[in-house]
Amino acid sequence: MTDYRRLFDLTGRKALVLGAASGIGKAAAEALAAQGAAVHCADLDLARAQATAEAIREGGGTAAASRADAANGDDVAALVARAHASLGRIDVAVTTPGINIRKTVLNYSEDEFDRIVDLNLKGTFFFLREVGRIMVAQHSGSIIATSSMRAFTIEPGLAVYGATKAAISLLVKGFAAEMGSHGIRVNAIAPSIIETALSAPIKTRPDIYDTYAKHTVLGRWGQPSEVGSVIAFLASDAASYISGSTLLIDAGWTAIDGPPTGLTQVG
């Protein structure tokens, strides 16, 4: 009989999380550590990455931290080399950094466009390329990138951001096709409305905040821990037959056309 509990266990695994200072990246680092992985926590904000690592250690886990700019290819390469040297191998690699400038296309400057593409898309490319090289040499690994439900459904002011997230999902598909023969799985997550620093400005507008919540079938915003747990699943052997996928974590946002009306009767 299959030991299903063991499939979720990450004891002995070595993990790198880029974006571990806050939000989904922090939750990912915590979730991986809780399942037994040793975690290297990286972020542009070194102090907060160190705080994440310290909290993991205080909880009985194993973690270290270092600084890296996810939008800088040389920084990402140095980070992966540093984490590999420290951990001895990289079994799980997660990247979460992303930014948005909410403007219509007609009002976007070229510099603003480049900022979004450089971090969201090029940053993901740098990360996949560098950890992929390590994992090919060891013939195993699980890589998890961060897309968004905005790769599938959009609203005014999010076209550029959504375009990068859609590109990440396709990049993951292509990279998964290239890495499968090396025993490496590549997937992406696509969260919807999660309470993070990126979405914090919306919380200052209760009318918009509540409207968004009502657009989900669960009627609420999600927490970073609810995404971190999915990342831990994708990292584990419980997801051993999943690759090239973008897993929606959206509380049904993309399952319905518009907000629930409340007219449906149950029973």
42 touches 83 (CB < 8 A): yes
**Beta-strand (E) ranges in the chain?**
14-18, 38-43, 63-67, 92-95, 141-146, 184-191, 246-249
164 touches 120 (CB < 8 A): yes
3-state secondary structure of 42: strand
CA dihedral of residues 35, 30, 173, 238 (deg, nearest 10): 20
Residue partners of 16: CB distance under 8 A and separation at least 6: 39, 40, 42, 79, 80, 83, 87, 90, 92, 93, 94, 131
3-state secondary structure of 62: coil
Place of tokens 């990247």: 95
| CA-to-CA dists, residue 34 to 58, 62, 150, 173, 196, angstroms | 12, 10, 29, 28, 21
The catalytically annotated residue of 161, 209, 212, 241 is: 161
Judge whether 161 counts as a catalytic residue: yes
Nearest of 151, 52, 62, 139 to residue 98 by alpha carbon: 151
Distance CA 9, CA 27 (A): 17
Residue 18 backbone phi and psi in degrees, to 5 = -100, 125
88 touches 140 (CB < 8 A): no
Catalytic positions: 161
